[in-house]
């Protein structure tokens, strides 16, 4: 029976082999030393650590609709578990329609900080009167034919225009200096033990990102020409040590399409409120490209911060693990260990060919 089982059941044969039995019954003093236990780093115990000694004047900003509730709850739960359950920063929700009682109940229940709900004024959300609707309609039809994502959507364009230059003007945000933009259905992979808002404040940063990539040219064919017209009229707004090299490979003659992916951004609201950026947005708004094309807030924000901020005021939050489908940033090495991250280190967008992060690195 032993012979039959040995040749028909491989696992049985290995288990009852002479070498295996011999290893199990070694004489005294011949035992192999036990493996050393894995040495874990000293993690911060979120349940026992003292409350923060100081906090920044900051908030989370979430543009959402009632139908986004499930995705918002998912994002908030991760954000609270990984960071905010210790810091208790507030949330500001914005919507062009009134939030439902159910939305308010669920989000308020998850948040460890205060929660406020704002209704966006129609003039800040809807297509402005100076836009030629016939021209805009033809542009949308062409984008649909060209299979441009959201090419036929007016509401998407409203959102891009709002995020580009109007979100920071909302009444509920006037009392804050810093914000962290949060989207529904995103993932936060790691513990965030150090307050990124205080980091921004203490190091004079104005913009923080985790992902950067190239824009789809068909959505912004004339954006850079419009930008150059503004620069030519207002050169005084550009500091000499800005990040022009991130967005242009030829000193501003053309746009290389690189942008920070703005679904995650931690920023200084006073930068967007500045004279330089305010006039820049007003110039772009009058150009009409948000509706005649499909200018996104990501390239608009990125061009704005690259032109009007000093390059050292832009920060790559390497320690914040983040995913917005279909891309993710996963911290590497010690940052991954320290943050107790659950993302795969080999699955990170940082330096694949379609990423622009290497261009950011080259600034320094």
Measured CA to CA, the distance from residue 297 to residue 277 in angstroms comes to 13
- Looking at residue 47, what is its pLDDT? 61
User: With pLDDT > 90 as the criterion, what percentage of the chain qualifies?
Assistant: 85
pLDDT value, residue 53: 84
What pLDDT was estimated at residue 103?
98
Residue 1: the pLDDT is 43
269-296 pLDDT, tens digit per residue, is 999 999 999 999 999 999 999 999 999 9
22 has a pLDDT exceeding 50: no
Whole-angstrom CA distances from 258 to 40, 204, 228, 246 are 39, 23, 16, 7
- The whole model's pTM is what? 0.86
Give the 3-state secondary structure of residue 231: helix
Q: Which residues are catalytic?
A: 265
Mean pLDDT calculated for residue range 43-55: 72
Q: Which region among 44-48, 82-86, 291-295, 335-339 has the lowest average model confidence (pLDDT)?
A: 44-48
Identify whether the C-beta of residue 98 lies closer than 8 Å to the C-beta of residue 131: no
- The encoded tokens of residue 95 equal 């919507």
Above 80 in pLDDT, residue 209?
A: yes
pLDDT band at 187 (very low <50, low <70, confident <90, very high): very high
Count CB atoms within 10 A of the CB of residue 239.
15
> 10 Å Cβ neighbour count for 213?
18
Q: What is the mean pLDDT of the chain?
A: 91
pLDDT of residue 29: 46
Helix axes 154-165, 275-287, angle to 10 degrees: 160
**Closest of 134, 146, 190 to residue 333, by C-alpha:** 190
pLDDT at 51: 80
Tens of pLDDT, residues 120-160:
999 999 999 999 999 999 999 999 999 999 999 999 999 99
Cβ atoms within 10 Å of 2's Cβ, excluding its own: 8
């Amino acid at each position: 029976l032993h012979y039959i089982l040995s040749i028909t059941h491989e696992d049985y044969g290995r288990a009852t082999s002479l070498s295996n039995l011999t290893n199990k019954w070694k004489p005294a003093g011949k035992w192999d030393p036990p493996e050393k236990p894995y040495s874990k780093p000293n993690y911060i115990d979120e349940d026992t650590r003292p409350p923060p000694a100081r906090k920044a004047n900051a908030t989370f900003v979430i543009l959402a609709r009632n139908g986004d509730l499930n995705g918002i709850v998912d994002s908030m739960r991760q954000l609270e578990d990984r960071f905010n359950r210790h810091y208790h920063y507030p949330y500001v929700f914005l919507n062009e329609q009134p939030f439902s009682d159910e939305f308010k109940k669920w989000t308020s229940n998850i948040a460890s900080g205060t929660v406020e709900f704002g209704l966006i004024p129609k003039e800040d959300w809807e297509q402005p009167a100076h836009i030629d609707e016939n021209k805009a309609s033809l542009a949308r039809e062409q984008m649909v034919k060209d299979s441009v994502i959201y090419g036929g959507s007016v509401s998407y364009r409203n959102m891009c225009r709002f995020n580009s230059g109007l979100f920071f003007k909302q009444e509920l945000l006037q009392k804050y200096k810093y914000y962290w933009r949060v989207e529904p259905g995103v993932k936060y992979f790691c513990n965030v033990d150090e307050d990124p808002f205080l980091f921004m404040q203490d190091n004079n940063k104005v913009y923080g990102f985790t992902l950067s990539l190239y824009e789809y040219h068909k959505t912004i064919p004339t954006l850079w020409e419009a930008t150059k017209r503004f620069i030519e009229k207002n050169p005084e707004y550009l500091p000499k040590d800005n990040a022009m090299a991130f967005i242009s490979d030829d000193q501003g003659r053309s746009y290389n399409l690189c942008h920070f992916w703005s679904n995650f951004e931690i920023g200084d609201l006073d930068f967007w409120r500045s004279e330089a950026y305010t006039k820049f947005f007003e110039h772009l708004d009058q150009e009409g490209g948000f509706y005649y094309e499909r200018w996104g807030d990501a390239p608009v924000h990125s061009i704005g911060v690259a032109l009007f901020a000093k390059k050292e005021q832009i920060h790559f939050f390497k320690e914040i693990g983040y995913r917005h489908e279909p891309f993710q940033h996963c911290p590497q090495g010690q940052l991954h260990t320290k943050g107790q991250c659950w993302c795969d280190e080999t699955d990170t967008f940082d330096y694949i060919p379609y990423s622009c992060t290497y261009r950011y690195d080259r600034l320094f």
